[in-house]
Structure 1
Amino acid sequence: MRIALISMHTSPSEIPGSGDAGGMNVVVAEAARALGARGHEVVVATRATEALAAGEYQLLSDDSHGAPVTLVALTAGPPQLSKAEMPGVTSEFAVELRRLGSFDAVHAHYWLSGIAAREAWAAGGTGIAVTFHTIAAQKNANLAAGDSPEPEARLAGERLLAETSFVIAGSQSELSGVIDWYGAPRAGGSVVHPGVDTRLFSPRAQGAVGRASAGFEPLRGDRTLGVEPHRITVLGRIQPLKGQDLAVRAAGELARRDPELFAHTEWVIAGEPTPGAEGYAADLRVLADREGVLDRFRFLPAQSRADAAGLLASSTLVLVPSHSETFGLTALEAGACGVPVVAAGHTGLVEAVPHDVAGIHLGDRDPATWAAAIATLLHDDARRARLGASARAHAVSHDWRAHAAALERCYSQLAR
């Protein structure tokens, strides 16, 4: 098949956790490579920016026998545009998409890509598949304090796409959200969970060797006795939606309730603020200082795939305190590293982190609840080991080859 994957507002070549790049970038890049490895001709289309000049590039695959995967950066509007400005250039982007020719399958990622793909090809009878990654109406219903609601233009765009496109959802939660807010997709829909690179994201030896793989030394630890602090990690873009402030408040609660245990912890928040969330990122440091825990926190920039794998594998626990998640790719990657996850018990995280298999779910956002759950797991080495082993087993069942095979079935259904 000749397959187009459309990612207008952010390139899969960007580092997740920087700018507007996140789990979607990983999904697009890995799906493209996995589809190429299965012999399909894959073209990934994105918008040209100052960081990615217009032109063609190769997305290299681990499988040298697969078909080539081409990343095409198309000119649409000036290089530097905010995501809020991009609806104004979707028609221009659609013109450039049409010049790529015809495809057996077109899969748009995020609503902006869907609108452009629909304008480019739907009139010619080509069916369009869309993955929203975040549903605006669902996000607005779970809006974090200080966050801005998604605009009506996006709500209307998603509603139109749900009515006219085949919806490929990253989780049952996402598909249910589409149905609840926009109605059942008339062209059909399917759930295809993201995958994980279980070779890159894998358990590492703990202790000094394991910690060194994360690229930095622990804050403290009795080196004479070989004791290292428990590393508790939050990985992802810094924004109110991701709820990193809850992790800081939980650290403060743990420090007050169990100071001896807290003294043997270090906390890592890795990622960069999305455009417009710079104030929230700065407030996290202020909050940590007010809670009296700033000296136990590290704030790291966005991590490459290899660095993210090292950081997660070197952690004792990974926290995912998001207000909502389409799936929660970081949680699956932590599980692949054999590290239990403490997650908010809602939306796609219920599927990414099966309760008492890959970690535990928490039903509220009370910092005391999170601190108690963290303390319980830190005190229970045997339970952490059991959860780590079952988390790894769960992750191994979600590889990118299975993801690509499921996409093939969706594309064939759409073509019929």
Structure 2
Amino acid sequence: MGESAIGRVAMISLHTSPLDQPGTGDAGGMNVYVVELARRLAEQGTAVDIFTRATSSRLDPVVPVRDGVTVHNVHAGPFEGLTKEQLPGQLCVFAREVLRAEAAHPAGHFDVVHSHYWLSGQVGALARDRWGVPLVHSMHTMAKVKNEALATGDTPEPQARVIGEEQVVEAADVLIANTDLEAKQLINLYDADPGRVEVVHPGVDTDVFRARTPAERARARRERGLGDDALVLLFAGRIQPLKAPDVLLRAVAELVARRPDLRSRLVVPVVGGPSGSGLERPTALANLAAELRIDDVVRFVPPVPQPELAGWYSAATLVAVPSYNESFGLVAAEAQASGAPVVAAAVGGLTTVVRDGHSGLLVDTHEPHDWALALERVVTDAAYRDRLATGALEQARQFSWEATAAHTVEVYQRAHALIRQEALTR
């Protein structure tokens, strides 16, 4: 195979479909990542077949998404009611169907397997051995990292996942990390070979998430029922302990206590739906808002498509990302590309995405008092906020899906070189 001949990739995203709406259930930044990467790979000449588990009988088995990108809805287990924790029991069925799909084509149909999340990595490892092509794997999140920074009341990741991740790390020819920090975590926590870890930053769709004119921002506010002088503190993402929307609400309560004069202008939209352990108590965040006596300023908004989400970013005074961990922090990147300052937890990939004091503020703790001070600084100083907004746009230029796709193809080529080298040394 020549250096540039990556003609077709089998991309495996077992536990969440790239066709699902991000912001609820198990759909989030990884869904966006898979779709956007596949789209840009296709535009650059590499076709992509995405294999995911069918969650409805109404889904067609094969769905063309755009030229060069096809989603395969694989039947494995019941369509509904199967939690992510129960999916390991369906790995064999899913893997069999993926192998069967490839068997319908001439040998060498796929050049690379690229799996996303550990469950997909288990299937990818089997496909790698059967097809004789390299396995490239993206973790997205890691059990050992999540368990080290567990939110209060959240459920630890099970040991079965830890073991499964260790197996995938050992099986993959190359591991893609979103940031330098994630690369170090793979090496230090999972004993990954440093020579097989590549850092490839995710991107942002700058056609959707872009700077708006003052008139466009004013229209975005009017369309959402927000006043011109409203101080809009936006949370976007899945409602679960890991994402820590409760930290934002507690900080807002403290901000209101410190600065009661701001209350009449404050609006806190929470855009997203329950997910993960948050499904066990779907009304918990609304109950907390009432308990904190800020339910008059909090507004719950169901998950929205990306163009609508871009409008929310444009309407925001700032975007809060208080997560306990993020492998990258796509919401922060999208917000910055939209010209919104970000106040984020100084964890994981957020320390790469957000430049502290330039495109936003990084908060070292999850204490409501510290978050209230950071929020207050941004909302009460218009000149400082404008500087951060300018810095946000500048910071966002580092991240593009076109660059992500080009770098990913280089990783695919390197993975091929590694397995050729291994074959020669056997």
What TM-score range do you get, normalising by the shorter chain? Answer: over 0.9
Residue 140 of structure 1, aligned match among 138, 147, 155: 147
Task: Identify the residue that residue 118 of structure 1 maps to in structure 2.
Answer: 125
1:204 touches 1:210 (CA, 8 Å); kept in 2? no
What is residue 208 of structure 2 aligned with on the other side? 200
The residue that corresponds to 2:291 in the other structure is: 290
Q: Quick check: 389-398 or 365-374, which moved more? A: 389-398
Between the aligned partners of 1:104 and 1:240, the Cα distance in structure 2 is 39
Question: 1:323 offset after TM fit, Å?
Answer: 0.3
Q: Aligned pair in 2 of structure 1 residues 173, 211: CA closer, same or farther (>3 Å)?
A: farther
For 1:376, the aligned partner's letter is R
Question: Cα deviation per residue 1:285-313 (whole Å; 9 max; x = unaligned)?
Answer: 12111211110010111111111111011
Match of 1:64 in 2: none
- The answer to whether 1:362 aligns with 2:363 is yes
Q: Is the 8 A contact 1:171 1:191 kept in 2?
A: yes
CA distance in 2, matches of 1:336, 1:52: 36
- Report the CA distance between 1:281 and its aligned residue: 3.9
Counterparts of 2:121 and 2:72 in 1: how far apart (Å)?
17
Shift, 1:231, TM fit: 0.7
Deviations 1:146-197 (A, max 9, x none): 1111111110010111122111011222221111211123770111111001
The alpha-carbon distance between structure 1 residues 158 and 192, as it changes in their structure 2 partners (threshold 3 A), is same
CA distance in 1, matches of 2:222, 2:46: 35
Q: State the distance in 2 between where 1:4 and 1:140 align.
A: 31
- Provide the C-alpha distance between the structure 2 equivalents of 1:348 and 1:138, rounded to a whole number of angstroms: 12
Task: Tell me which of 212, 227, 235 is aligned to 2:220.
Answer: 212
**Percent of aligned positions that are identical:** 39
Distance 1:52 1:385 in 2: 48
The 8 Å contact of residues 6 and 107 in structure 1, kept in 2 or not, is answered as yes
Decide which moves more: 31-40 or 262-271: 262-271
Q: Does 1:163 align with 2:170?
A: yes
The residue that corresponds to 1:74 in the other structure is 74
Instruction: Please state how far the C-alpha of 1:207 moved relative to its aligned partner.
Output: 6.9
Q: What code does the residue aligned with 1:402 have?
A: A
**One-letter code of the match for 1:71?**
V
| 1-structure distance, mates of 2:362, 2:297 | 25
Give the direction of change, closer, same or farther, for the CA distance of 1:302–1:52 in structure 2 (3 Å limit). farther
Aligned counterparts of 1:123 and 1:258: Cα–Cα separation in 2: 63
2:181 to 169, 173, 187: 173
- Ranges in structure 2 where 5+ consecutive residues have no aligned partner: 1-6, 103-108, 418-426
Partner of 2:9: 3
Tell me the matched-pair count: 403
Is the Cα–Cα contact under 8 Å of residues 240 and 276 in structure 2 kept in the other structure?
no
1:359-406 per-residue CA deviation (whole Å, 9 max, x = no partner) reads: 111111111111111111112111211111121122122111001001
Partner of 2:198: 190
Q: State whether structure 2 residue 38 is matched by structure 1 residue 37.
A: no
Partner amino acid, structure 2, of 1:141: E
- 1:338 counterpart residue number: 339
Aligned 8 A contact 1:206 1:314 in 2: no
CA distance in structure 2 between the partners assigned to 1:119 and 1:240 by the alignment: 34
CA contact (8 A) 1:135 1:174 kept: no
Distance in 1 (CA, whole Å) between partners of 2:27 and 2:299 is 21
Which stretch shifts more, 29-38 or 395-404?
Answer: 395-404
**Is the CA contact (8 Å cut-off) linking 1:127 and 1:414 kept in structure 2?**
yes
Give the Å deviation of 1:213: 5.9
Within the alignment, does 1:380 sit opposite 2:386 as a pair?
Answer: no
- Structure-2 residue corresponding to 1:53: 59
- List runs of 5+ in structure 1 lacking aligned partners: 61-66, 222-226
The worse-fitting range, judged by mean Cα deviation, of 256-265 and 209-218 is: 209-218
Give the TM-score normalised by the residue count of structure 1.
0.93
Rounded to whole Å, the distance in 2 between the matches of 1:51 and 1:206 is 46
Provide the rounded CA distance (Å) in 1 between the counterparts of 2:48 and 2:372: 46
Q: Hey, what does 2:243 align to over in structure 1?
A: 242
Q: For 2:412 and 2:217, locate their aligned partners in 1 and report how far apart those are by CA, in whole Å.
A: 45
> Equivalents in 1 of 2:181, 2:195: separation in Å?
19
CA displacement, residues 214-272 of structure 1 (integer Å, 9 cap, x when unaligned): 84212xx4xxxxx4311110000000000000000001000100111232211011100
d(CA) in 2 for partners of 1:52, 1:410? 36
Q: Distance in 1 between matches of 2:113 and 2:223?
A: 39
Going from structure 1 to structure 2, the CA distance change for 1:114 and 1:52 (only over 3 Å counts) comes to farther
Hey, what's the Cα distance between the residues in 1 that align with 2:149 and 2:236?
Answer: 20
**2:283 aligned counterpart, secondary structure:** helix
| TM-aligned CA deviation for residue 276 of structure 1 | 4.0
Is 2:393 the counterpart of 1:392?
A: yes
User: 1:55-107: CA deviations, max 9, x gaps?
Assistant: 111223xxxxxx52111111112212211111011111111111232411111
In the alignment, does 2:259 pair up with 1:251? no
The two structures have a TM-score, normalised by structure 2, of: 0.91
The answer to whether the Cα contact below 8 Å between 1:377 and 1:384 also exists between their aligned partners in 2 is yes
CA distance in 2, matches of 1:29, 1:21: 12
Name the CA shift for 1:157/1:215 in 2 (closer, same or farther; >3 Å).
Answer: farther
**CA RMSD, Structure 1 to Structure 2 (Å):** 1.7
Could you tell me whether the CA contact under 8 Å between 1:231 and 1:266 is conserved in 2?
yes
Mapped contact 1:164–1:186 kept (Cα < 8 A): no
CA distance in 2, matches of 1:194, 1:138: 19
Distance 1:39 1:294 in 2: 50
